């Protein structure tokens, strides 16, 4: 993916400064990772789609894979499974992961067009405990997006789980379908689900972001799980949404 200097200067650097200056980044994303034996990590090594090798420092690894300080992290080669693609699966556990869970991000090769390959990321699992500090996911994902853009990744994929209506105060509720679009993820919606409820204003909409722009409460109530993507190319709609969200939620902190 082509890195555009003007976009980097006028957008990426500005939100990177906000993210790195936030208490969440200062307290939890300085790059203190460990392996399964409790030894300090040297960072991860990735094989790019073109065969070149990317050596990530400990801090770059923490940012690219959303791994907070003090985590035990390791990498495994995995085959395609369910919604997850084949690639290098970076898994980690820490005090913010729900009991019995482990979070994971897969680095994989994505075919953007026939014969056109690039590097991409897939957030396989991101299950956080109720004790996780507010804005933790916003800062962590912002750092991931900035780092992925700088290294030329094309996109970030995931499965936005759960469905509406949300149940307030339910710690077991899956809310990815509602949370990830706030950070710039998008996905197609289908004609059938748009006509399922008698609201003519919703007819003809084609994407989750179009639904949110028209009536966010409708999506909160009737939205459902599906694969979603954040496009990392410069000036993409995904970046526009994330940039605005970071400015509104973090810049004043």
What pLDDT digit, counting tens, does each position of 185-209 carry? Answer: 999 999 888 877 767 778 889 999 9
* Average pLDDT of the segment spanning 69-98: 93
93 and 171 fall within a common domain: no
Over 80: is that where the pLDDT of 174 sits?
yes
9 and 116 co-located in one domain = yes
Based on the structure, what is the number of domains in the chain? 2
pLDDT value for 202:
82
Same domain, 209 and 149: no
Q: What is the pLDDT of residue 198?
A: 67
Question: Do 71 and 119 share a domain, yes or no?
Answer: yes
Q: Are residues 145 and 174 in the same domain?
A: no
pTM: 0.94
Same domain, 31 and 118: yes
* Residues of the domain holding 24: 5-154+232-249
Find tokens 């009737």 and name the residue.
Answer: 222
Q: 142 and 118 in one domain?
A: yes
Looking at residue 252, its pLDDT comes to 65
Residue 202, preceding peptide bond in cis (omega within 30° of 0): no
Same structural domain for residues 126 and 214? Answer: no
Same domain, 209 and 102: no
Looking at the fold, whether 175 and 149 belong to one and the same domain comes out as: no
Radius of gyration of the chain (CA): 18
- The residues near 163 (Cβ < 8 Å, ≥ 6 apart) are 174, 177, 223, 224, 225
Does the structure show a pLDDT above 70 at 253? no
Distance CA 245, CA 108 (A): 27
The answer to whether 57 and 31 have CB atoms below 8 angstroms apart is yes
Q: Model confidence at 130, in pLDDT bands (50, 70, 90)?
A: confident
Is 135 found in the same domain as 20? yes
In the predicted model, is pLDDT for residue 37 greater than 60? yes
In this prediction, residues 198-222 reach a mean pLDDT of 89
On whether both 25 and 77 belong to a single domain, the answer is yes
């Amino acid at each position: 993916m082509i890195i555009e200097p003007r976009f980097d200067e006028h957008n990426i650097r500005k939100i990177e400064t906000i993210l790195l200056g936030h208490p969440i980044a200062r307290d939890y994303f300085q790059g203190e990772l460990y392996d399964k034996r409790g030894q300090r990590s040297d960072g991860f090594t990735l094989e790019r789609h073109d065969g070149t090798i990317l050596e990530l420092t400990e801090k770059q690894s923490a940012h690219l894979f959303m791994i907070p300080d003090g985590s035990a992290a390791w990498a495994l080669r995995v085959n395609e499974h369910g919604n997850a693609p084949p690639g290098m699966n970076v898994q980690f556990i820490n005090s913010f992961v729900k009991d019995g869970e482990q979070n994971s991000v897969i680095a994989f090769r994505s075919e953007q067009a026939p014969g056109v390959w690039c590097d991409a990321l897939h957030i396989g699992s991101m299950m956080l405990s109720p004790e996780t500090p507010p804005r933790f996911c916003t800062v962590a994902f912002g750092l991931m997006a900035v780092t992925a853009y700088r290294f030329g990744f094309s996109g970030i994929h995931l499965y936005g789980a759960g469905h509406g209506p949300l149940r307030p105060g339910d710690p077991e509720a899956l809310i990815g379908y509602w949370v990830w679009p706030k950070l710039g993820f998008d996905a197609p919606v289908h004609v059938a689900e748009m006509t399922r409820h008698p609201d003519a204003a919703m007819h003809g909409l084609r994407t989750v972001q179009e639904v949110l722009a028209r009536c966010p409460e409708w999506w909160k109530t009737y939205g459902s799980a599906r694969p979603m993507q954040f496009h990392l190319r410069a000036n993409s709609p995904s970046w526009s949404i994330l940039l605005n969200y970071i400015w509104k939620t973090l810049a004043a902190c």
